């Protein structure tokens, strides 16, 4: 997954601004995503290896019928 802008992630997640920012803050502090700068100095966000592991676990739980 390539780094994405904050607004693009927010729209893809279908969350309002306040809720998205709460999740973003939590995910950053827990190391699931990281903030980076692109070549032009713009802020981007990308998933970390820890975030990828969480995503795999959540997808497996979903396949088993657990709703999270």
Pick the CATH number of 6-63 from 1.10.287, 1.10.260, 1.20.120, 1.10.10: 1.10.10
Q: What is the value of pTM for the model shown? A: 0.82
* DSSP codes joined into one string, 13-62: HT--HHHHHHHHHHHHHTTSEEEEE-TTS-EEEEE-HHHHHHHHHHHHHH
Q: Provide the pLDDT for residue 47.
A: 97
pLDDT category of residue 66 using cuts at 50, 70 and 90: confident
Over residues 48-58, the pLDDT tens digits come to 999 999 999 99
**Rounded (5°) CA angle 26-28-34:** 160
Over residues 6-47, the pLDDT tens digits come to 999 999 999 999 999 999 999 999 999 999 998 888 999 999
Cβ(19)–Cβ(11) under 8 Å?
A: no
Q: Provide the pLDDT for residue 55.
A: 95
């Amino acid at each position: 997954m390539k780094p994405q802008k904050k607004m693009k992630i927010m729209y893809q997640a279908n969350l309002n601004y306040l809720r998205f920012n709460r999740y973003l803050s939590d995910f950053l502090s827990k190391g699931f995503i990281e903030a980076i700068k692109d070549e032009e100095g713009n802020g981007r966000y990308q998933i970390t290896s820890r975030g990828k592991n969480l995503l795999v676990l959540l997808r497996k739980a979903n396949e088993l019928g657990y709703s999270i």
